[in-house]
Amino acid sequence: MRATIIHAPGDIRVENVPEPSVTAPTDAVVRTVATCVCGSDLWAYRGIEPVDEPRPMGHEYVGVVEETGDDVTSVRPGQLVIGSFATSDNTCPNCRAGYQSACVNREFMSTCQAERIRVPQAEGTLVAVPDGAADELLPSLLTLSDVMGTGWYAALAAEVRPGATAVVVGDGAVGLCGVIAARELGAERVVAMSRHETRQKLAEEFGATDIVAERGEEGVARVRDLTDGVGADSVLECVGTAESMSQALRSTRPGGNVGFVGLPHGVRIDGQELFLSHVGLRGGPAPVRAYLPDLIQRVLDGRIDPGRVFDLTLPLEEVAEGYRAMDERRAIKALLRP
């Protein structure tokens, strides 16, 4: 079958690789219907994360079950399913606490930009989409595998409450999904920090009430202006750099919360500064699995339309162009059709 392999920074190829198979009774094999390129894939593409040897790429998927191991009873061949970028048995103490992305049997998916994938812990990981979902909902369903679930977790970690003011730092697909999440959770005011016109526009269509184009100190000052000098109740940090984290922490009111979901690169938080801020902080790989049933329903009901973050659709064979377009910020997010 055909699969995406990174050979070195900037060197993405589609190659023939062996078909995956059920190797444990807890596995399933899924034929991908749609997969995509993630902002976090760019860390390796840009050489910020090392690429020591050629390896497959991709961790987001929606697909059809082809085969299941003997222990898998929650899904069956032929069903359309979604799974998180992190597998989970959904029964361990961390799963039961709602942190499936910290499952004691967790594996991070890493081969999804391909025609077929092996899904470990399929029983707990995969969630079936009810029969008859319209094909045009596929992009939105695909976002639930990562970016929409991650934006949702950012809003929950930032403790967005009805009536709150939420700020979203980062205008990538996760940040834009964070805008949706903040609105769905009842934020009255959602401030999107973005300097790109097309992303500003999409943020507004997703429910942002204010746009702040400034960054750093100026951005913080603008947020303070918008919040009577106090800072925002909830800030969703969807980037993962030292600058974005600092901006998020300084935009939050005492007693407010930052939810951070961009994998931090080079972020060191000064303990005394955090202490004096009174800001609560929680991050991590999102427990997407926990939200899948609810978010699938919101997509099917037409309440949310996160699939609009895909502004480029390519056949799998052209995945390299998807990386290029996202790297150059010509595209927000590239959907791949295997």
> Rg for the chain (alpha carbons), in Å?
19
Binding test (CB under 8 A) with a copy of itself, winner from 265, 303, 329, 330: 265
- Two tokens at 53? 């040897």
Decide: is 228 part of the binding site for a copy of itself (CB under 8 A).
yes
Decide: is 113 part of the binding site for a copy of itself (CB under 8 A).
no
Decide: is 49 part of the binding site for a copy of itself (CB under 8 A).
no
Instruction: Please count the other Cβ atoms lying within 10 Å of the Cβ belonging to residue 8.
Output: 14
Decide: is 175 part of the binding site for a copy of itself (CB under 8 A).
no
CA distances (Å), origin 246, targets 32, 81, 87, 102? 38, 38, 31, 26
Decide: is 269 part of the binding site for a copy of itself (CB under 8 A).
yes
Q: Report the amino acid identity of residue 169.
A: V
Decide: is 93 part of the binding site for a copy of itself (CB under 8 A).
yes
Tell me the three state secondary structure of residue 306: helix
Here's the x/- map for a copy of itself, 140-159, by CB under 8 A: it reads as -----------------x--
Q: Taking contact as CB under 8 A, which single stretch among the options 41-49, 66-74, 137-145, 247-255 is the one that binds a copy of itself?
A: 247-255
- Two tokens at 95? 């799963």
Binding test (CB under 8 A) with a copy of itself, winner from 68, 84, 94, 252: 94
Which residues have a Cβ under 8 Å from the Cβ of 263 and sit 6 or more positions away?
40, 43, 240, 285
In the complex, the smallest distance separating the C-beta of residue 321 from a copy of itself, rounded to whole angstroms, is: 30
**CB-count exposure of residue 313 (10 Å: 0-12, 13-18, 19+):** middle
Q: Taking contact as CB under 8 A, which single stretch among the options 2-10, 29-37, 78-86, 95-103 is the one that binds a copy of itself?
A: 95-103
Decide: is 283 part of the binding site for a copy of itself (CB under 8 A).
yes
Rounded Cα distance, 222 and 34, in Å: 39
Which residues of the shown chain bind a copy of itself in the complex (CB under 8 A)? 93-94, 97-99, 101-102, 157, 228, 230, 240, 242, 245, 253-255, 260, 263-272, 274-285
